Structure 1
Amino acid sequence: MRHHGIHHVTVIAGPARRNLDFYTRVLGLRLVKKTVNFDDPATYHFYFGDSIGSPGSILTFFPWEHVAPGQTGTGTTQETAFRVPESALAFWEQRFIEQGVEHGKPEKRFGQSVLPFKDPDGTSLALVGIANVRTDNTWTTGAIPTEHAIQGLEGVTLLVENGEPTGAILTDVFGFREVAREGELVRYKGDAVLCSVVDVRSAGSKLPGRTGGGTVHHIAFRATDDAHQVEMVRKLVETHGLQPTEQKDRNYFRSVYFREPGGILFEIATDGPGFDADETHDNLGDELKLPAFLEARRSEIEGKLPALT
């Protein structure tokens, strides 16, 4: 069965130790994979998610120790949102106060309660309260009980000059549908349980964004398998005149990349083989995992990676 939604979101961060602490200790996510940036193996690539690393639960990071700050603007992702039980927002607001997390006041968007906040790199994030939220595969810690835990990603907000061409990609290629409008925001929804919401904000000729710390590097949409991915690529080429990359093997999924009309880097990632391809579910994230083509350089790579303890 095909699920229309987002597979993962990848963000640029600063110091690796700080990034790891915030997402595992403060937010209570599971580190489901500790590997490296395949194109820059002296840099970690962290994957955070639910207990089994479900597609749609995954927020990933390239943590560069001395990265310059980025800037949100047109052609960037304005915000990435997690889903939590609606009753948990008061818990999180208090936890943010106690942990010194920068956050705003709860607000309403499309009838939902939303608590915006930022991570130590200034990444714009939010918690969205969901009624009757499913708690499958919840990862919990002693400080964050199951009834308050993050349940995966909810979606993203994109900031582009003109949202219509972006919306056409979402609906025609990725199987989303327009479900609501609120001011300059248009909401698109897929049918996956996790991370199936994309809000597109048309901002006109505002200042373009700048890639750097605290900004989203790319958004990966789900393909059930290789055949589904090929079908999406065909539509991108034949209907939308875009030229995706060749398929790249990322060990835990296979990917192609392209710039959508608003300038944001999109990926199409297969659901499989999954994060248990080289670790059991019980041991996800325990060891540094390298792709086969880098394994011979393990000692060199481990010597260049920053300490995490």
Structure 2
Amino acid sequence: MTSASIPGIHHITAISGPAQRNLDFYTRVLGLRLVKKTVNFDDPGTYHFYFGDETGQPGTILTFFPWAHVAPGRLGVGETQETVFRVPEGAMGYWLHRLVETGVAHQAPIERFGDKVIPFKDPDGMRLALVGVPGIEGEPAWTGGTVPAEAAIRGFHSASLLLADTAPTGAILTDVLGFTEVAREGDLVRYRAGTTQIGGIVDLRGAGGFLPARMGGGSVHHIAFRAADDAAEMEMVRKLQENHGITTTEQKDRNYFRSVYFREPGHVLFEIATDVPGFAADEPVSSLGAALKLPSFLEPRRASIEEVLPVLV
């Protein structure tokens, strides 16, 4: 880590069904901001949506590749099992009522590591949860959506990974990504990234003998971890190679961050993403997500790309 690095989750990227349904659920039901509307750089006939807080700060960003006719995924080992959002502790009643009112599939509240948790699913069956966190009412909240500020989501609480063996993945989290093991509960091992509050927790669930995951609608494609800048990212790449024998991809420019990718020992696809330059790199914060943004290499194809993308309302 460089001195400027804040460890933790940068973003989580998943696969969904129809684009409009995905957009409606995350902006209208969960009240997140669409902070970037772009395309899958490797498959530009498909949108890439980024949902988060007002400015799209790391630790708040959930992104999707929506494919209208995608087959459902199957949860299994080697996958991010659940993506968990932080909400003010006093808003849990509001959220339970909202999930009922909007017809969202959910479970009764449970307790996990002493926290009250409401597990639920999005329209594609992606596993999500809300955790009530005391004392976060004063944190900034996106107020341009459908959820009042006092109840609004304040970024990620955590993500849980389903693994055949948690120890090798734990070694990557602790040695390379800035986490420390802090608790165990049943088959869960909790890791925390220093004092990072937003996106600062990863839970590893051991489930030897389960079938491997099959990617599809509702599946998490990859989970990304923070690096302050290129130098911090390259230091992590060095540690992965020298201490764990893991080689990453070359660095890829994603316009809003620069990334490397690798399969960690439990087969989950990990990304390391820089905090810079951020989502205001190509449009002002006031109008984030309003226009379709394309990387410079796709700009000459804008007309043909816009022709094949689904119309959004």
TM-score by length of 1: 0.99
Specify which of 69, 76, 96 is matched with residue 79 of structure 2. Answer: 76
3-state SS of paired residue (2:11): strand
Q: Is the 8 A contact 2:137 2:150 kept in 1?
A: no
Asked whether the 8 Å contact 1:45–1:61 carries over to 2, the reply is yes
| Structure 1 portions without partners, runs of 5+ | none
Equivalent position of 2:107 in the other structure: 104
Q: Residue type of the partner of 1:119?
A: D
| Partner residue in 2 for 1:126 | 129
Could you tell me how far apart the structure 1 residues matched to 2:130 and 2:246 are? 33
Structure-2 residue corresponding to 1:236: 240
Among 206, 211, 218, which residue is 1:207 paired with? 211
The 1-side partners of 2:73 and 2:110 are apart by 26
The CA distance in 2 between the partners of 1:102 and 1:138, in whole Å, is 25
User: Does the CA contact (< 8 Å) of 2:33 and 2:144 recur in 1?
Assistant: no
1:221 alignment partner, one of 225, 242, 249? 225
Match of 2:18 in 1: 15
Deviations 1:100-132 (A, max 9, x none): 000000010000000000000000000011011
Residue 36 in structure 1 maps to residue 39 in structure 2: yes
Residues matched between the structures, number: 309
Give the drift of 1:133: 1.3
Determine helix, strand or coil for the equivalent of 1:146. Answer: coil
Q: Paired residue for 1:85, among 63, 83, 88?
A: 88
1:193 positional shift = 2.2
- Alignment-derived partner of residue 202 in structure 2: 198
Aligned amino acid, residue 293 of structure 1? F
Which residue does 2:278 correspond to in 1? 274
User: Aligned letter for 1:37?
Assistant: N
Displacement after TM superposition at 1:136 (Å): 3.5
- Correspondences of 1:38-187 after superposition (within 5 Å): 38-133=41-136, 135-141=138-144, 143-187=146-190
Q: Distance in 2 between matches of 1:158 and 1:277?
A: 31
Distance 1:161 1:48 in 2: 30
Shift of 1:143: 3.8
Q: Deviations over 1:25-45 (max 9, x none)?
A: 000000000000000000000
Contact 1:190/1:197 (<8 A) preserved: yes
CA–CA distance in structure 2, aligned partners of residues 142 and 207 of structure 1: 39
Given the alignment, which residue of 284, 288, 293 partners 2:288?
A: 284
CA distance in 1, matches of 2:59, 2:138: 14
Normalising by structure 2, we get a TM-score of: 0.97
Structure 2 distance, partners of 1:160, 1:193, is 24
Contact conserved, 1:46 with 1:61, CA < 8 A, in 2? yes
SS in 2 for 1:21: helix
Alpha-carbon distance between aligned partners in 2 of 1:163 and 1:42, rounded to the nearest angstrom: 37
Are the equivalent residues in 2 in contact too, given 1:52–1:137 (CA < 8 A)?
Answer: no
CA distance in 2 between partners of 1:213 and 1:287 (Å): 25
Residue identity in the other structure for 1:188: Y
The residue identity in structure 2 corresponding to 1:256 is V
C-alpha displacement of 1:141: 4.3
Give identity over the alignment, percent: 65
Matching residue of 1:249: 253
